[in-house]
Chains A and B, each alone.
Chain A
Amino acid sequence: MKAETRNAVAAGAVLLALCAVPFITGKFTAYLTIRIMLLGIFAVGYNLLLGQTGLLSFGHGAFYAAGAYGLGLFGVHVSTHPLLGVAVGVAAAVLLALLVGYLCVRHTEIYFAMLTLACGMMVFSLVWNAREITGGDDGLIGIVRAPITLFGLADIPIARENHFYFFVLFFFALSVWAAHRIRRSPFGLALAGIRENARRSEFAGVPVRRYRLAAFVLSGAFAGLAGALEALLESNARPFMAHWTHSAEPVLVSLLGGLSSLTGPLVGGAIFVAMREIIQRFTENWMLWFGILLLVIILGFRGGVVGTVSALFRKATAPGEG
């Protein structure tokens, strides 16, 4: 299939470019790339819920925070093994997503958005107030990037920036591949059906609420993974990860890039991080210009940047093509 190989080649090229970044660019660009990859994991997972299943959540920062605090507390109290920490972080996010999701998926549209916002802010104030455990608003400090010990045989250090870069790159590639496969899988098609027409999905025999919960928990897992990795990157976890303004970031990023494609949220994430940094270099009033940029993209690129650009290039549209 021509389109399939074309995408695979493009993905391979991007992966190679990402591998080269730490060698050919400065340390700060490598750091920004890590931030873009973290936001990419968060947003590509989130878009499984918004773009694929059609549910707008404003509480996914809570699962991001669950991942970060899960890893952090595990590291401080049990073991600092990064892979175990990430696993615990993702597990914590999945559990929290299961609880919040079970409550929220009975609603849709604005009520689902408001309910997830309320749940997210509950987690935020819980983390803020549980000072003894989470360190309150100072954040959970003392998270260390210990080397990965593989069954005592080898120690892979990830403390240094370059090594940690590949640690994140591995999870980023894994996440994008997983999201791609999910979108292409029977499960992905069922989710798309729910987005397009939830009532008809029920009449097709799809237990809609259970699938929505599955998509919710899945996107929560991606958020937890991104949170755990940020905790390792910045050596701390902060209540503001659960704040609704942070939960709004994957929404903004997916819309910027384009909801209906796999790469939309990734491109949106790159724009979000890079443009904020570039604007800050020219002016202190970065919020003004960033706001104006958002307006241009919302009104100018109606289907998001990727949606509009790919529409321009694609002559014969292969329907349903990513």
Chain B
Amino acid sequence: MGKRGMNRRDFLKLTGAGSLAAAAAGGLGGGLLTPKWVWGATPSVKGPIKVGYQAVLSGTLAGYGEFHKMGAVMAVEEINAKGGIAGQKVEMEFRDSTTKPDEAIKNARYFVDSWGADFLAGIDSSAQALALAPLMPQLDRVIMFTHAATEKVTEDFVFKKGVKQIFRNCMPTYNDGHAAAFIAKDFPAVKWSTVSPKYEYGFTCWKMFQESLKGLKPSAQFIAESFAPFGTTDFRSHINTIMDAKPDGFYSTEWAGECISFVRQAKEAGLFDKVKYAMFPVGAAMDVLEGLGKDMPDNLWISARYFFQYPNSKENNDWVARFRKRWNHYPAYVSETGFSAIYAFKAAVEKAGSKDTKAVIAALEGMDLDCPAGKRHFRKEDHQAMYDVPWGQTVSDPNYPFKVMKNMKVIPAKEYFNRPPFEGPGTSPPFK
């Protein structure tokens, strides 16, 4: 079913037969029509708004779970301080999703079926997002992915299979793959190389980067690639592969702790002296910047799914100041997406006048939401939020214990986001 997509006949047979038999065997099926599922929900919203949030709180990525939590908890506190959503208090339960898909599924089911969540949010791993996707029609709650970047979840499940409950306010792989090529096309570098994670995310981004750069700059060549398994701590052999090929451009989607180890070891080996143009699409993540601190070499091209200095607007700067006062930390991108996810739920419920899933979906589709990261537009077709993120070169700044960005460049999202129907010519950048 997966590869060919579920054709109409199978889909009807599946759901048609399913509901018929369920109605016939009503006794067997238990409480079929729950009272809540009533057409034309009354305008006033009843009971607290419950959000079930889960992120990685154990193992090597435990830091990300804590950054998610800071953002989300802050949003809930601020909203409740101003009267909650549609007059109702917001309650949030936070769980450790680990990196295993079956744990994420169990938590999601717990939130909805046992705790009575109205909304779900979080999820760091792409595998977890893809595992949750087929479950969403049955749970029938809006889920806002705030980190998992795989484009398959929005392109295949939301657009092609019509799983309307899924939304994502975090930047998908498009920035890491396509936007990087838009930046790279202006460099004199021609012979590109990579050390990227040896799993879907790493392979997909490198492929996108190659396709887009080839489109923008046909002279580009891709002469060396080395993929490092999850959990690699010693990158020296991978670095040797790259330095032996003597490229003039380097691209890597290593992220979190592995990005810190890689940059540190690459700097020691002198990779950045030999290769002038090095790009790290997730190098501007706060844990990487703070982790490397002064050791971060200068003039590396970095980006992230939110950088606290962009946009230089009052709302963003004010939010960053509030965040630092509240948590004594600079906000990571997952803190911003966690924060904005709660506000997205608020905007949707108040616009729809109900917390019923169908109404909220309708309200969220096509919505424009002002967030610290700037304006997010939730695309109607694949429920993916479109917003702009900066690229820039690392430079030291006396005000900060870590490197920040100079020569900031922003590629508008619509220039590099894949477009519906996500298949065939003209659906992936560069667009004519």
Contacts and interface: CB of A to CB of B under 8 A. Distances in A.
B113 A31 contact: yes
B143 to A, nearest CB: 15
B14 A236 contact: no
A297 B189 CA distance: 62
Contacts of B112: 28
Nearest to B3: A76
Interface stretch (B73-81, B131-139, B270-278, B287-295): B131-139
Majority SS at the chain A contact face = helix
Nearest to B5: A142
Contacts of B21: 147, 155-157, 163
A22 B57 CA distance: 32
B127 interface: yes
Interface string B1-18: 111001000100111011
A35 B14 contact: no
Contacts, number: 122
Given A162-B28, A236-B134, A238-B131, A142 B3 contact: yes
Interface residues of B, number: 44
B152 interface: yes
A137 B200 contact: yes
B47 interface: no
B101 interface: yes
A234 B130 contact: no
Interface in A11-28: 22-23, 26-28
A139 B129 CA distance: 11
B113 A138 contact: no
A137 B199 CA distance: 6
Interface in A221-261: 230, 234-236, 238, 240
B338 to A, nearest CB: 16
Given A31-B109, A161-B138, A234 B101 contact: yes
A102 interface: no
A287 B58 contact: yes
A131 B134 contact: no
B17 A234 contact: no
Nearest to A30: B113
B29 to A, nearest CB: 5
A144 interface: yes
Most central of A131, A147, A161, A235 by chain B CB within 10 Å? A235
A277 B115 CA distance: 13
A100 to B, nearest CB: 23
A2 interface: no
Interface in A84-139: 128, 131, 136-139
A6 interface: no
A71 interface: no
Interface of A: 22-23, 26-29, 31-32, 35, 75-77, 80, 128, 131, 136-144, 146-147, 155-157, 159-163, 230, 234-236, 238, 240, 277, 280, 284, 286-287
Given A137-B127, A157-B17, 10 more contacts: A31-B113, A75-B1, A76-B1, A131-B200, A141-B131, A141-B133, A147-B13, A159-B15, A234-B131, A236-B130
